Amino acid sequence: MNEITPKDLYELGTDVTLIDVREPNEVAEVRVSYAKSIPLSELSERVDEIPEGAYIMCHAGGRSARTVEHLERLGKSTINVTGGISEWEQDGLPVERG
């Protein structure tokens, strides 16, 4: 599985595709401004919205890792963001709230 840390992802800039697989209530609390929300509960219906090479984020890295594994089984190459939004925020990277 391909993985990246939040700091390394941040250094790539905002021209990457970042998919947040947390549920809407979680995203409403705190989010990365340029992330696209595709809740894990909707993934099977929205898998076509996830391009090759997309970065997948969740709260702490577990759901996103499972998502990347699932997408790999479907033949789609994506990258897990280790530590998720929790590590992103701990690293002092910018987030939106509310």
Domain coordinates in residue numbering, the chain: 2-97
Q: What is the pLDDT of residue 15?
A: 96
d(CA 48, CA 45): 8
CATH of 2-97, one of 3.40.250.10, 3.40.50.1980, 3.40.309.10, 3.40.50.1400: 3.40.250.10
**For 14, phi and psi rounded to 5 degrees?**
-95, 5
What is the rounded CA–CA span in Å between residue 41 and residue 52? Answer: 20
Residues 23-79 have pLDDT tens digits of: 999 999 999 999 999 999 999 999 999 999 999 999 999 999 999 999 999 999 999
Q: Are 2 and 21 in contact (CB under 8 A)?
A: no
Distance CA 71, CA 13 (A): 24
What's the pTM value of the predicted model, to 2 decimals? 0.96
